[in-house]
Amino acid sequence: MPDVVIVGGGIAGLAAAYELSRQDIGCVVLERHARPGGVIFSEEVDGFTIDGGPDSLLVQKPAGIQLCQELGLGARLIPTKPPRVAYILRAGTLHALPAASVLGIPTRVKPFLGSRLFSWPGKLRMGAELFVPRRHDDGSDESIGAFITRRFGREAATYIAEPLLAGIHAGDVDRLSVRALFPQFVEAERTHGSLLRAFRARQSALRNPQSAIRNDDGVFRSLPGGLSELVRTLVQALPPGTVQTGAAVTRISDRQSTESPPDIVEASPRFRVERASGAPIEARAVILATPAFVTSTLTRDYDADLSRLCGEIPYASSAAIVLAFDRQAVRHPLNGSGFVVPRVEGTLLAVSWLSSKWPGRAPDDRVLLRAFVGGARDPRALERSDEELVRQALTALTPLLGMTAPPLLSRVYRWERANAQHEVGHQARIAAIEHALTRHAGLYVTGSGFRGTGIPDCIADGRSTARAAFGKLKGKG
């Protein structure tokens, strides 16, 4: 019998298992699908290395890079290829996002003044951010759209906040929470009174040769085999048999709910984990590393309040359409990492030029592209067939990139309810979930629905959740 059962073998559940195994705590990961990794999925097809889901680890959030290093993958981390330019579509033209920016927010005035991405009134309004009074900080939340409109004006919200900041979450800019997703913006306003001032100060610090977070190789890393390489190596680092695939969990129950004080983890098993097939497994602690709506279902009979709170966290669906071409069949130089599409400009969300972004993704005479559709902008995208989605991508891309021949390869990766939406009020909901969990010693939740959505956030949270479980099991919590 394992001490801990982890439900869900995405990156959060695997990171939790890794942390427990380092502490010599016996655990098992029950994963519904035939493969672990959740939304992380890479494959080799005809000489192309394709990430159907995530492809990047953000350097500034060190938990992803650190885990790679611990697993012996440090030397295999690859930076993006220069030029590290991202484009934004406006009026049928791809405009380079000025290099001097943090998540699209300018850090120097001159490159922005020269950019044709914004109108002159738009540029003036963005520059006036320096003089916008800081909001009285009463701790209340605000949407990303409301925050950026208030500080930089509507044009910045339309051409930066919507496609870039909300776009990475496939979300609605007027619903996603700035406090949950971009706390650094809220903090910058609070401490400096202006984001422009705060980011300029940060850039000067980065130019200092002594700076520990100086990064000349760009802010993203990947692995030569795609991000599934991280998943494979992580599973191999666990004791054999830790990860059980094809093992859907249906329900969690508490064997001792009436007898045990809620804050004590018993030496004998407290939880009963029921599976779609096979006998229930008993454990002293359970970590639910499932999407929040699954966590809601699993806890429905156990704690109705906890279940309701988890069920209120929304998710968006998206699809990645991957296309490969002969290099000479695409007229555009593809000199950058790709582009994002503001809602007012079209139906695609974003397009990565995978073979220009990463080394080794395609044979030299070929190019590999990936278009995202769906999200809050087009919630019914997954109802379309693969053929329709490929046609949609080609129709949008051909006038922009100048394709002169059909694709050599096309693949569609469907991500149904895979993008957690941390909407306005998310942090208050998480506080209520944490409070509900105090009623159940030994029960934990982690994963992208809860405390952070990116891979590094999920790794950090999976590991810290495991440490909390470990502390309780050893009687230190």
Ligand X SMILES: Cc1cc2nc3c(=O)[nH]c(=O)nc-3n(C[C@H](O)[C@H](O)[C@H](O)COP(=O)(O)OP(=O)(O)OC[C@H]3O[C@@H](n4cnc5c(N)ncnc54)[C@H](O)[C@@H]3O)c2cc1C
Q: Which residues bind ligand X (CB under 6 A)?
A: 7-13, 30-33, 38-40, 53-56, 58, 248-249, 289-291, 294, 318, 320, 415, 418-419, 447-448, 453-455, 458
Q: Which is nearer to ligand X, 160 or 460 (CB)?
A: 460
**Minimal distance, residue 31 CB to ligand X, in Å:** 5
User: What is the greatest pairwise CA distance in the chain?
Assistant: 72
Find the angle CA(28)-CA(34)-CA(39) to the nearest 5 degrees.
Answer: 90
Q: Quick check: 432 and 425 in contact, CB under 8 A?
A: no
**Minimal distance, residue 400 CB to ligand X, in Å:** 22
**Minimal distance, residue 260 CB to ligand X, in Å:** 25
Q: Which is nearer to ligand X, 320 or 397 (CB)?
A: 320
The CA radius of gyration of the chain, in Å to the nearest whole number, is 23
Q: Quick check: 27 and 242 in contact, CB under 8 A?
A: yes
Using DSSP's 3-state secondary structure scheme, residue 223 falls into: coil
Using DSSP's 3-state secondary structure scheme, residue 155 falls into: helix
**Minimal distance, residue 149 CB to ligand X, in Å:** 26
Q: Which is nearer to ligand X, 38 or 342 (CB)?
A: 38
Q: Quick check: 366 and 327 in contact, CB under 8 A?
A: yes
Q: Which is nearer to ligand X, 7 or 126 (CB)?
A: 7
**Minimal distance, residue 399 CB to ligand X, in Å:** 25
DSSP string across 179-199: HHH-HHHHHHHHHHS-HHHHH
**Minimal distance, residue 101 CB to ligand X, in Å:** 19
Q: Which is nearer to ligand X, 58 or 394 (CB)?
A: 58
Task: From 339, 445, 38, 56, select the one nearest 219 (Cα to Cα).
Answer: 56
**Minimal distance, residue 29 CB to ligand X, in Å:** 9
Q: Which is nearer to ligand X, 156 or 455 (CB)?
A: 455
**Minimal distance, residue 56 CB to ligand X, in Å:** 4
Cα–Cα distances in angstroms (integers) from residue 207 to residues 9, 61, 383, in the given order: 40, 19, 48
Q: Which is nearer to ligand X, 286 or 424 (CB)?
A: 286
Q: Taking the alpha carbons of 259, 261, 265, 267 in that order, is the dihedral positive or negative?
A: negative
Cα–Cα distances in angstroms (integers) from residue 15 to residues 229, 287, 413, 474, in the given order: 14, 11, 24, 20
Q: Which is nearer to ligand X, 104 or 454 (CB)?
A: 454
Cis peptide bond prior to 239, omega within 30° of 0:
no
The burial of 459, by beta-carbon neighbours within 10 Å (0-12 exposed, 13-18 middle, 19 or more buried), is given as buried
